[in-house]
Chains A and B, each alone.
Chain A
Amino acid sequence: MINTESNNGQPRLQAVDLSKRYEDGVLALDSVNFSVYPGQVFAMLGGNGAGKTTAINLFLNLIEPTSGEAFIQGISAHREPLKAKANVAFVSENVMLYPNFTAMQNLEFFVRLGGKTECGTDDLRAVLRRVGLPDEVHHKRLKGYSKGMRQKCGIAIAILKDAPAILLDEPTSGLDPKAGFDFIRLLESLRDEGKAILMSTHDIFRAREVADVVAIMNNGRIIMQENASTLSGKDLEQVYMQYMAGHNLETAV
Chain B
Amino acid sequence: MLGTLIQKELRAIILSPKFTATFAVCSVLLLLSVFIGIREYKQTVAQHETAVQLADQRIQEISSWHGMRDKTYRKPDPLQILVSGLTYDIGRWSSIDSRSTVKLKNSAFSDDPIFAVFRFVDFAFIVQIVFSLFAILFTFDAVNGERENGTLRLVFSNAVPRAKYIIGKCLGSWLGLVVPICIPIALSLLMINIFGVPMTAGEWGRVALLVALSLLYVTLFVVMGVFVSSLTKRSSVSFLLSLVVWVLLVLIIPRGGVLAAGQLASVPRLAEIEGLRDGHAKNLWSQHRKEMEERFLARHDAREERDDDDMWAEMKFEDSARKDVQIQIEAYEVRLMEDWDRRKATQQRLALTLSRFSPAAAYQLAAQTLAGTDLSLKPRNEEAMRTYRKEFNQYVDEKQAEGGHVGGIQISIGSDEGMKITTSRDNAGLDIDDRPRYTLPQQQLAAVIQPAVTDFGLLAFGTILLFAGAFVSFLRYDLR
Contacts and interface: CB of A to CB of B under 8 A. Distances in A.
Interface stretch (A80-88, A186-194, A200-208, A229-237): A80-88
A81 B158 CA distance: 9
B299 interface: no
Contacts of A173: none
B46 interface: no
Interface stretch (A33-41, A107-115, A209-217, A219-227): A107-115
B159 A109 contact: no
Contacts of B480: 57, 62-63
Contacts of B427: none
A18 interface: no
Given A92-B154, A95-B150, A96-B149, A112 B479 contact: no
Interface in A90-111: 90, 92, 94-101, 105, 109-110
B4 A92 contact: no
Given A89-B157, A115-B159, A100 B149 contact: no
Interface residues of B, number: 24
A60 interface: yes
A167 interface: yes
Interface stretch (B11-19, B265-273, B309-317, B381-389): B11-19
B193 interface: no
Contacts of A154: 154
Interface string B189-216: 0000000000000000000000000000
Interface in A161-175: 161, 167
A112 to B, nearest CB: 5
* Most chain A beta-carbon neighbours within 10 Å: one of B5, B153, B158, B480: B158
Nearest to B1: A113
Contact of B150 (A61, A92, A110, A141): A92
A63 to B, nearest CB: 7
Contacts, number: 72
Nearest to A102: B15
A114 B154 contact: no
A98 B151 contact: yes
Category for how many chain A residues contact B: 20 to 34
B153 A60 contact: yes
A61 B149 CA distance: 19
A34 to B, nearest CB: 19
B275 interface: no
B156 interface: yes
Given A88-B157, A112-B4, 8 more contacts: A60-B153, A63-B478, A82-B159, A83-B159, A90-B153, A95-B154, A100-B15, A114-B159
19 contacts: A60-B153, A62-B153, A62-B479, A81-B159, A85-B158, A85-B159, A86-B159, A89-B157, A92-B153, A97-B151, A98-B151, A101-B11, A109-B11, A110-B154, A113-B5, A113-B155, A113-B160, A157-B154, A161-B158
Please give me the 9 A-B residue pairs with the lowest Cβ-Cβ distance, nearest first.
Answer: A90-B157, A100-B15, A82-B159, A96-B150, A112-B4, A86-B159, A96-B149, A62-B479, A85-B159
Interface of A: 57, 60-63, 81-83, 85-86, 88-90, 92, 94-101, 105, 109-110, 112-115, 141, 154, 157, 161, 167
